[in-house]
Amino acid sequence: MTKQNSHEKRPLLLEIKEICKSFVSKKSVVKAVDRVSFNIHKGETYALVGESGCGKTTTGRMILRLLDVDKGQILFEGIPISTLTKRQLRKKRHNIQIIFQNPYGSLNPRMKISTLLAEAISSRAENPSHIRAEAERLLQSVGLGKENLDKYPHEFSGGQRQRICIARAIATNPKLIICDEPVSALDLLVQAQILSLLQKLQKEYGFSYLFISHDLSVVRYMSDRIGVMCNGRIVEEGTRDEIFENPQHSYTRLLFASLPTLKNADAFAAADIQEDTEIFQKVLRDVKERSNKKIYVSQTHYLLADQ
């Protein structure tokens, strides 16, 4: 049994049911997330992929309760977290962590690494006398030496900072980690190292990932299942192989067609940018205007009706 088709044997960790989120200004209402539903099982990596502004990060922030849902429900281990009080949420907070996109902006520049990690470790009521040793263990688990504990964030490269962010995320023994574009600010070699580290830690600790990215190659490498987002909706969902080998929705196909490779380099050089833009805008309008009816290709693969 492969990793991709074994997820159904695992217990559910997170259930997202028809959640919506709109942002209102004096001049307009922007529907950022529109009736989004998906599940994540224990030990699974579920990826949300789509262009910038499609609602991926907003979805992740609602799961963290950094934003409140307008409609719908978020269940974590069967508990509706959107209705928890602040005190109840604080007791659950350590179970869901996040790795942000920018390793330069997500670490407090005035804190030593030992202090940054100690804050996270203490959230699980660790014996104060053990915190230093645990911080050393965490740094070593992400490939950094214990001698780095007394340094400040500015003394590290981007890749090293992201390793520290990962160490901080796993310090609370989470069950779910939201990876919000965790390698997009890094060069290709460092990206590969961080992705390999994330997979290694998942095997070691057994936590689940919600992996948010617009990079299709990264998503293919990391994910078990994929939700393709467009205009605040998941327009197609399936296993990694189903999405990449048999894309059904027009938007998914457009995403793959827009991925430059060595084979299609000449076609990209000669592409009519105006025509491509018009096709893209038409697909976006179609997603926005059409129904939320699901068409199932298989038990694990569906798309929203194109008409």
Q: Is residue 62 part of a domain?
A: yes
Query: Which residues, in sequence order, are CB contacts of 302 under 8 Å at separation 6+?
Result: 236, 237, 238, 294, 295, 296
CA separation for the pair 143, 193 (Å, rounded): 10
Q: Is residue 178 part of a domain?
A: yes
Provide the domain count of the chain: 1
Q: What is the mean pLDDT of residues 32-51?
A: 95
Kindly tell me if the per-residue pLDDT of 174 is higher than 90: yes
Q: Is residue 16 part of a domain?
A: yes
- How many CB atoms are located within 10 Å of the residue 15 CB? 16
Confidence of residue 236 (pLDDT cuts 50, 70, 90): very high
CA separation for the pair 213, 229 (Å, rounded): 11
Q: Output DSSP code: residue 259.
A: -
For residue 290, give the amino acid letter: R
Q: What is the mean pLDDT of residues 13-37?
A: 93
Q: Which tokens in the block code for residue 8?
A: 């159904």
Is 56:48 a contact under the CB 8 Å cutoff?
yes
| The pLDDT of residue 265 | 47
The residues pairing with 24 across neighbouring beta strands, listed in sequence order, are: 29
pLDDT tens string 109-155: 999 999 999 999 988 766 777 899 999 999 999 999 999 999 999 99
Q: Specify the residue for token string 């059409």.
A: 290
| DSSP E strand boundaries for the chain | 12-24, 29-41, 45-49, 71-76, 79-80, 96-99, 176-180, 208-213, 225-230, 233-239, 294-298, 301-304
> What three-state secondary structure class fits 24?
strand
Kindly tell me if the per-residue pLDDT of 226 is higher than 60: yes
Confidence of residue 82 (pLDDT cuts 50, 70, 90): confident
Q: Is residue 126 part of a domain?
A: yes
Q: What is the pLDDT of the chain when averaged over all its residues?
A: 87
Q: Which tokens in the block code for residue 246?
A: 């048999």
Q: Is residue 1 part of a domain?
A: no
Q: What is the CATH number of the domain that holds 31?
A: 3.40.50.300
For residue 37, give the amino acid letter: S
Q: Is residue 30 part of a domain?
A: yes
Q: Which residue has the higher pLDDT, 58 or 105?
A: 58
Q: Is residue 87 part of a domain?
A: yes
Confidence of residue 189 (pLDDT cuts 50, 70, 90): confident
Of 232, 271, 224, residue with least CA distance to 251: 232
| The pLDDT of residue 279 | 64
- How many CB atoms are located within 10 Å of the residue 156 CB? 19
| The pLDDT of residue 269 | 47
b or e along 180-215 (b: 16 or more beta carbons within 10 Å of the residue's beta carbon)? bbbbebbeeebbebbbebbeebbeeeebbbbbbbbe
Structure pTM? 0.88
Confidence of residue 307 (pLDDT cuts 50, 70, 90): low
Indicate the burial class of 1 (C-beta count within 10 angstroms; 0-12, 13-18, 19 or more). Answer: exposed
> Which residue range forms the structural domain that includes residue 149?
7-304
Q: Is residue 269 part of a domain?
A: yes
